[in-house]
Structure 1
Amino acid sequence: MDLVFTTEGLEPSKRYAAWQGAICDVYVNVDVNAEKRSDYQGFIREARFGPVTMTDVLLSEQRITRRERHIAKLDKDCYYVEFVQQGQVNVLQAGQTLHSNPAVGAIFSAAEAYDLECIGRVRSLYLEIPRKEFASRFNEHKIPVAATIATARGLGRIAAEFCSTLASEGAALEEAARTRLGGELLDVLALALDMGDNYELSEDDTAQKARLRSVKDWIEEHLTDPDLSPEKIARSNGVSVRHLHYLFRLNDVSVSEWVLDRRLQRCYDVLTRPELRSLSVTEVAYRLGFHSSSHFSTVFRRKFGHSPSDLRKR
């Protein structure tokens, strides 16, 4: 994905103002309000798949607001679909509050007033979808306005994982293939919404999901620890190892598999960033907690279909 803007490399005291000027006043036409501004962190990367624009976004805790004066500057009518990778975002639109997190995505209108409450540091994939093209996939009375998408199971999970795969592999594809895949992504999203794949969590499920998000956030902050183990994760988060494994079964994945996948995704990000090209593949592996460069190369190839060095050459 192409880097649009990042606060990395800027003096901490200047990051928030730079983010406002480059992103909020120009790129997306919104207002932001972040209480912790002294060391703001954020980036936006972008890729296009035919009619779909995909952005990979890192945000510090903040509130994002779009009102009529912002909407008046828009030159397109579209939807936003959000798949949260880390953290939690509350979407407020048309009198509704949509709670999105790694288990629940959200779709809402870009051309109507909204608020986004980013709780903690948030990493998300956003899709910008032309309204007319997406609406053609629905009967008139079923066109979505603001809705959630369950991403832990069923068609919602297929859509979210399809989106993640495009984000990581799309750069190597030719334009014709990217355009075709963008159309197919719209089909999958429409099917997930049309089949009623959104859901309400019970109070018990909500508590467990919230606990799981908290543990995942802690892991994200400690991925570079080479001694990160289920026992250490459980002890640091005040749960038993058995309960830790139970929490991760909610996502149909073991805690060790999830840690490995996040490390690999983080390594992929580092290896594709031109400003970090001075780091060798081995340095990247060790910085993200791997004990062996050969093991890193093996599991990286197994997940992404090519070696870390091949990715660098691309």
Structure 2
Amino acid sequence: MQTVFDTAPFRAQKRLSAWQDAICEHYAIVNVQQLSDEFYCGQIREGLLGTLKYTMASGTPNMVSREPKHLSVCQNDNIFVQLVQSGKCDVEQRGQYFTDTRGRAIVFTVAEPYTLRYQQSHRSVYVEIPREELKKRTKIENLKCLGSLDLGEGTGRLFHDYCMAIYRNYESMSPAERELVGCHLIDLFVMAASRKAPEERLEVDIKEARRSAVKLYIENNFNRPALSAATIAKENGISLRYLHNLFEDTGESVSEVFWDMRVQHSRELLRSPAHVGQNITEIAYACGFNSSSHFCNLFKLKFGETPTEFRVRAAREELSN
């Protein structure tokens, strides 16, 4: 992971203001107040897991306040999950108060005011999850602050351990692996949140969440000729039987999903002037097909015309416009 900010190079008197600027840049627009007499010290390390941002921040006692006036400068509508590794943090949002310690995570949103009070020197992991990613996996349209998550057992413990494993192994992962790990981390968060008390329970469909993660994987890999249901199951860490079970109530098999993505993408290439120099076979191979005849048959079955007929018609329509 990359160190994106450290107070060490700054003069002692400038460190607190530099820390506030760093928090505003890497998290959200806030005010920062020092809670000790010593000169401030802090560091932020950052990594990306696809659409997720994963950071490890440490610092001396301070209070972070996101006030109503800051909401007009809202860079995003994301959800933060804070996992304290040392020290503790008192969190307040929407009139709710929580204490974040090593056995509990606090979940809050930047879309509303909040206060984070670190009474001691601290070190915490922050997982920043885009709201849109949660919407794909939940039935809640307007997700608010979720409160706390128990990290001591079950999926909460798995979520915590997965977060720590990411920190230890981040540098050894490829960008594609990090993106897949990010999808898995969201799934674990959703499962952990679904175990809350009934009156606080986050309405989730775990099967739908897992299916969304697999579909994202297919979108990123559909043009691989060797892609198969077995490959998808293996690279997503699930059994082939479970993979088929994920799609059994959708009306299409997992194989139909990636073949459909291939033929849909081929249609876009056939329509695109940028690919006019490619013949039908080249486009078929670019989309993951091993056989041009299979491609032509599937294309006609899907769209009612051959790839050549579609390309001629699309070119004529382009000229007429």
> Which TM-score tier does this pair reach, normalised by the shorter chain?
0.5 to 0.7
Pair 144,71 (structure 1): closer, same or farther in 2 beyond 3 Å = closer
Q: Distance in 2 between matches of 1:109 and 1:163?
A: 19
Instruction: Give 1:110 shift.
Output: 1.4
Which residue of structure 1 lines up, in the alignment, with residue 10 of structure 2?
10
Q: Distance in 2 between matches of 1:25 and 1:161?
A: 28
Which residue of structure 2 lines up, in the alignment, with residue 267 of structure 1?
none
The residue type paired with residue 86 of structure 1 is S
Which residue of structure 2 lines up, in the alignment, with residue 119 of structure 1?
119
Which residue of structure 1 lines up, in the alignment, with residue 129 of structure 2?
129
| SS of match in other structure, 1:171 | helix
Give the aligned CA root-mean-square deviation in angstroms.
2.3
Pair 30,172 (structure 1): closer, same or farther in 2 beyond 3 Å = same
Q: Distance in 2 between matches of 1:176 and 1:182?
A: 10
State the Cα deviation string for residues 233-260 of structure 1 (Å, max 9, x = none).
xxxxxxxxxxxxxxxxxxxxxxxxxxxx
Q: Distance in 1 between matches of 2:27 and 2:157?
A: 29
The residue type paired with residue 15 of structure 1 is R
The residue type paired with residue 122 of structure 2 is V
Contact 1:93 1:114 in 2 (8 A): yes
Scaled by the length of structure 1, the TM-score of the pair is 0.59
Which residue of structure 2 lines up, in the alignment, with residue 74 of structure 1?
74
2:161 is the alignment partner of 1:161 = yes
Deviates more, 1:150-159 or 1:174-183: 150-159
Which residue of structure 2 lines up, in the alignment, with residue 145 of structure 1?
145
The residue type paired with residue 96 of structure 1 is Q
**Identical aligned pairs, as a percentage?**
29
The residue type paired with residue 40 of structure 2 is Y
Instruction: Give 1:58 shift.
Output: 0.4
Q: Distance in 2 between matches of 1:179 and 1:144?
A: 25
Instruction: Give 1:145 shift.
Output: 2.3
State the Cα deviation string for residues 62-113 of structure 1 (Å, max 9, x = none).
1110123322222321100001100111110011011111011011111111
Contact 1:155 1:188 in 2 (8 A): yes
Aligned ranges for residues 15-94 of structure 1 at < 5 Å? 15-24=15-24, 28-36=28-36, 38-94=38-94
Pair 62,106 (structure 1): closer, same or farther in 2 beyond 3 Å = same
Higher RCO, 1 or 2 (CA under 8 Å, sep at least 6)? Answer: 1
Contact 1:85 1:123 in 2 (8 A): yes
Contact 1:24 1:32 in 2 (8 A): no
Which residue of structure 1 lines up, in the alignment, with residue 249 of structure 2?
none
Instruction: Give 1:123 shift.
Output: 0.4
Which residue of structure 2 lines up, in the alignment, with residue 273 of structure 1?
none
Q: Unaligned regions of 5+ residues in structure 1, if any?
A: 199-314
Contact 2:93 2:145 in 1 (8 A): no
| SS of match in other structure, 2:119 | strand
Contact 1:61 1:119 in 2 (8 A): yes
Pair 72,101 (structure 1): closer, same or farther in 2 beyond 3 Å = same
Q: Distance in 2 between matches of 1:27 and 1:143?
A: 19
Contact 2:48 2:178 in 1 (8 A): yes
Q: Distance in 1 between matches of 2:26 and 2:80?
A: 18
State the Cα deviation string for residues 158-192 of structure 1 (Å, max 9, x = none).
10110111122112211111101100100000001
Which aligned runs of 4 or more in structure 1 are off by greater than 4 angstroms? 141-144
The residue type paired with residue 46 of structure 1 is E
Contact 1:2 1:46 in 2 (8 A): yes
Instruction: Give 1:13 shift.
Output: 3.0
The residue type paired with residue 173 of structure 1 is M
The residue type paired with residue 108 of structure 2 is F
2:74 is the alignment partner of 1:99 = no
The residue type paired with residue 154 of structure 2 is G
Aligned ranges for residues 171-186 of structure 1 at < 5 Å? 171-186=171-186
Instruction: Give 1:125 shift.
Output: 0.3
Q: Distance in 1 between matches of 2:196 and 2:21?
A: 39
Contact 1:13 1:37 in 2 (8 A): no
Which residue of structure 2 lines up, in the alignment, with residue 110 of structure 1?
110
Aligned ranges for residues 278-293 of structure 1 at < 5 Å? none
Bigger-Rg structure (1/2) = 2
State the Cα deviation string for residues 179-222 of structure 1 (Å, max 9, x = none).
01100100000001112279xxxxxxxxxxxxxxxxxxxxxxxx
Instruction: Give 1:157 shift.
Output: 1.2
Q: Unaligned regions of 5+ residues in structure 2, if any?
A: 199-321
Q: Distance in 1 between matches of 2:167 and 2:160?
A: 11
